[in-house]
Chain A
Amino acid sequence: MTKSINRQIPKFLIALGLLILVSGLFKGYSQYTENKHIEKQNMIRGISPPSTKKISSNEFSSYTVPANNPRYIFIPSINVKAIVRPLGLTNNNQIQSPANVYDAGWFNKSSLPGKSGAMLIDGHISSWTSKGIFYNLKLLKNGQTIIVEEGNGIKINYKVIQSKTYDASSVDMQALLNPVNPNKPGLNLITCTGNVIKGTSEFNKRLVISAELE
């Protein structure tokens, strides 16, 4: 009896192995074809994936902006240290996102660092192949510090006061462009969260971290 079972184990392992192998290949193929489909759709819609090229230390240190514009963002608690690029709107009235997953973007119609109103900075959570600069934004807790450095080298400290998640289609844009505390200059960070919407490269939710001037 035991001998018979022992004789069957290799066959079972082979069958199981082949099953797993085939399923892995099938899944890989499915994903490949889906990615191709998404790629094609994105091409039609004019969406190109952000660059995943690492920012060199030379590029980082030589980056300049006007004196009162945001130059860098530092979030020590989640190890964020990034260039802040000025961004506007797309033709579809959507706030642009950074062209590189390792950069942050400042919506140039929002406030300047430390000034009344709210400045809005966005950044990617990820691409297919890389973690984005705001991959760990969800780990930020109230009271933690966000530092924005201006073009003139002045560092402005903000303190996290709120974290909110919205469906991607119903982000409160009025809130996003205003400070949570109307009496203090604010900083709102936004990135994607949730799950990728099937058939697209986009996420179904947005995470907004709000901070106020310390």
Chain B
Amino acid sequence: MLAPSSVFAYSGYGLGTQQNPYRISSCAQLQEINNNLSGYYILVSNIDCTDYNFVHLAASSSFSGTLDGQNHTIKNLVIDSSGLFYLTNGATIKNINISGGSTSSSGYGGSFIARATDTIMTNLHSSMTVNGGVSAYVGGIVGYMYGTSSLTASSFSGYVSGSAYSGGLVGAMSNSNNSVTDSFTTGTLHPNGAYNGLIVGGFFAGTISRVYTSGTIDNGATTNIGGIIGDSQASLSNSFSAANFSGTHSGNGAVTAYNVSGTYTNVYYDKYITNTANMCNFGAVCTGTAVNVGNSNPTYFMNNSNNGPLNTWDFNNIWQTTSSYPTLRNIALFDDQAGIPNNGDANNDGIIDSYQANVLSVQDVKGVWSTVSVPSSSGCSLGDGQSTSAISLSSDKGYSGQTNLTGFYVYCPTSGMTVTVTIIYDKQYSSPLLRYYNPNTGVYSMINGATYATKTIGGITKTTATYDLTDGGSLDSDGLSNGIIKDPVLLALAPNAPATGFGVYQKSPINNLILIGSGIVLTVFGIRRLHKNRA
């Protein structure tokens, strides 16, 4: 019987530490975050919360831990109010996509957090419906930011409604240390009051940089809505607005509704799409660059990284161009089937891998997929360790590598467990030989007892390798019996057998000598007999 290693009555596994986090694989386990608001949590699979009545977390005490979605999606999450968390303070929320679902708010609301203090928010995406109604401070991602909170590399494509100071990403920002960076919205903002914006409603302090919107402001409140900002009192830079005001256009700003004291550096807007009279509707005069005037250049921001302000964005690591507006590279990581073999079901068990905690597909540094799985009955789950082991093979002298490293973590319910691991490589390799790489020593070693086979999945013949891994054993690179096994491996090319013979020892020469000798003896004997007979 496997016993969870928890310090409170958590139904999943883990200790709630960064080294051994609580592993979440169901909506019910997500709800259990409420039982320990300072723990370290990770999602080990996608979660479908259909028919689960989720109650927002941290309603009266702040969440100060970490929730790392590990690029997993929470689907159809219906929250009673506010958002996933109501209060966070000193927390980190990252690498999560909320797909669909809804929440409502009577003041302060967002898909992820209603009120965030000193909170780091990274790689968060949502297509949720966030109904703020007539409440203020509602955002697609977060309602209100305080302290040193930051939002980075995130997006909103859902529907958000609120009264004053509501926004597509953030309701309001209050501190000079607040920031929103490298983010965008394509969703819909339904303003029920003034000073709403498709990025931020109340921009009271902080900085916003490298953001854009191509979302829609629908026919809600009629005036004082901004394409990017509702009320601006801080610094916006290197950004653009292609907001579509579907309702009344008069009395709105292409970038900002009410420019109290905002500053603008390298800010652009699509004059034709925003179809507003001014960049800022009222308040202080603001200046930026209007493009596509009179629909003269409708693709100015599309499939382009050279036009301003796009020429200040990082298109190598953060952004990527598309045939339309830019997108964030990290969004592709949430696609259940993005490149994963067999349409997302790489091990061909009939279930999309990203919904299984015990199945993990990773790409090596050359982009070749391998799919790791452990028996679901083991209670172990898998995590991506590729980023820490994506190295070349140069140090494995003596063997030719056929693949690059597949790095993964196995999180097991008890310390010291042995679990059988199967890796399906996305193609067939001849003479495979599984090798373990110890990142601490840089030494490769043989994985004894590994067995190899081929399997045809989706019409493609693939090599599989199966072997046993023990927590704290020789193939666990953390060397600790701690419930976590870190195991980078690769397939090498098995060597050929040695040539350990060089002709048959002396057999032929002896035979020849015997033959020749016998012939001579017989001939001589015959000649002597012949002479004797004649004599």
Contact = CB atoms under 8 A, between A and B. Distances in A.
Interface stretch (A53-61, A74-82, A149-157, A200-208): A200-208
B530 to A, nearest CB: 4
Interface stretch (A22-30, A65-73, A139-147): A22-30
Contacts of B496: 92-95, 171, 173
Contacts of A13: 522-523, 525-526, 529
Given A196-B503, A196-B504, A109 B497 contact: no
B400 interface: yes
A148 interface: no
A161 interface: no
Contacts of A108: 398
A187 to B, nearest CB: 13
A214 to B, nearest CB: 19
A200 B359 CA distance: 50
A178 B446 contact: yes
Nearest to A22: B519
Nearest to B399: A109
Interface string A115-151: 0111000111111111110110000000000000000
A126 B527 CA distance: 41
Contacts of A31: 508-509, 512
Interface string A187-214: 0001110011000011100100000000
A21 interface: yes
In this complex, which of B398, B495, B521, B522 has the most chain A Cβ atoms within 10 angstroms of its Cβ? B495
A14 B526 contact: yes
B520 interface: yes
B505 A131 contact: yes
A126 B501 contact: yes
Nearest to A101: B502
A22 B522 CA distance: 12
A38 B452 CA distance: 37
A203 B505 CA distance: 12
Interface residues of A, number: 77
Contact of B450 (A12, A21, A109, A174): A174
B65 to A, nearest CB: 40
Given A89-B495, A173-B495, A24 B516 contact: yes
Contacts of A101: 502
B527 A10 contact: yes
A151 to B, nearest CB: 20
B78 to A, nearest CB: 51
Interface of B: 398-400, 431-433, 445-446, 448-452, 474, 493-506, 508-509, 511-530, 532-533
Given A94-B499, A109-B495, A177-B494, 20 more contacts: A10-B533, A11-B526, A17-B520, A20-B522, A24-B512, A47-B499, A49-B502, A93-B493, A94-B497, A94-B498, A95-B498, A101-B502, A108-B398, A117-B448, A126-B504, A128-B503, A129-B506, A174-B451, A192-B500, A196-B503
Closest 10 CB pairs of A and B: A21-B519, A17-B522, A13-B526, A24-B515, A192-B501, A17-B523, A14-B526, A20-B519, A10-B529, A24-B516
20 contacts: A10-B530, A13-B522, A14-B527, A17-B525, A21-B520, A24-B512, A27-B508, A47-B499, A49-B502, A89-B495, A124-B500, A125-B500, A128-B502, A128-B506, A132-B500, A173-B496, A177-B494, A182-B448, A191-B500, A201-B502
